[in-house]
Amino acid sequence: MSGAGAPTLTVDGTGLRVVVVAASWHTVVMDGLLAGAERALTAAHVSDVTIVRVPGTFELPVAAQVAAENGADAVVALGVVIRGGTPHFEYVCQGATLGLTDVAIRTGVPVGFGVLTCDDDAQALDRAGLPGSHEDKGAEAAEAAVATVVALRGLRPGTSRVRA
């Protein structure tokens, strides 16, 4: 399982504004990812959370960019792409990955990457944070986004040098 060795992140996101951008395809998986992200943000004491639904995973980067440009301290991007019989899978996965990476680098706003790229429905369900799932990638993406904001505070002028 890919989650082996994952860090345990415990951070305080009090006062942060986090935008969760979530695709709409694969409703059951997406509902699990979104619920996991919301649980993690609540556990991190993030109370200013906006959820934006977009049609699919390919649309995540533009929504993340608008969120980052309009005051989000962090963005959590959630999507799922299931391999099919055409190259469409590769194009969507690459476009979303490169697009979200570009948003984070250009804006300096952390983007938690919660995009599942799976061979079949069973793999996606196993990572969706649902009852019986082995992993909760929505929660992991939210935790990573908040932890990165906290980590970057010491690198930015005028911010606290205290490490979390």
Encoded tokens for 86: 């055409």
Residue 88 catalytic?
yes
* Alpha carbon distances (Å) from 46 to 13, 38, 43, 126: 5, 9, 8, 26
- CA 16 to chain CA centroid, nearest Å: 15
Catalytic residue among 26, 45, 88, 134: 88
Residues with catalytic annotation?
Answer: 88
